[in-house]
């Protein structure tokens, strides 16, 4: 049990769990019991919450990295709640799955992310359809015909 809430970035750790509020003041809350949840991905077990957060567009990359710290601190503080029959969970595989999202997205809450987003938006608006098809031949993994995925909100890292 902790006496006072612990703040890490925008995430708050309490005896009830980990939480934050986003731009629309909608709370994002996870109960303490959820910090040990896992799922099997391929050959590995990964922690469910850090991977789940990657799918939420209003969670910025900065929020995600702060959550990782809060998540690990929370697991340490509430280690007595750890299930006895927990399989070996790969933190490196959990991070690798997050990295795929971070590497493939623009975080508008960072200076570089905003700058890159504006540059790409301007550049791609000037390309013709044929130019975009040519780019797809060079880099077939990127769909140049659709907009970039953008994560975050206006108040990431603000309390």
14-23, 57-66, 114-123: the lowest-pLDDT one: 114-123
At residue 89, the pLDDT reads 95
pLDDT attached to residue 90:
94
pLDDT of residue 58: 76
Residue 40 above 90 pLDDT? yes
d(CA 4, CA 34): 20
- List, for residues 103-126, the tens digit of each pLDDT value: 766 555 556 666 666 777 777 778
């Amino acid at each position: 049990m902790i006496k006072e809430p612990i703040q890490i970035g925008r995430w708050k750790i309490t005896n009830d769990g980990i939480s934050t509020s986003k731009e629309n003041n909608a709370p994002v809350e996870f109960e303490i019991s959820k910090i040990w949840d896992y799922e099997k991905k391929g050959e590995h077990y990964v922690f469910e919450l850090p991977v789940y957060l990657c799918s939420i567009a209003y969670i910025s990359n900065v929020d995600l990295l702060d959550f990782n710290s809060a998540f690990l601190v929370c697991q340490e503080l509430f280690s007595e709640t750890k299930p006895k029959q927990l399989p070996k969970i790969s933190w490196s595989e959990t991070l690798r799955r997050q990295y795929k999202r971070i590497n493939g997205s623009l975080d508008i809450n960072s200076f570089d992310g905003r700058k890159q987003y504006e540059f790409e938006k301007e550049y791609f608006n000037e390309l013709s359809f044929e130019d975009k098809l040519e780019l797809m031949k060079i880099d077939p993994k990127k769909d140049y015909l659709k907009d970039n995925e953008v994560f975050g909100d206006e108040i990431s890292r603000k309390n």
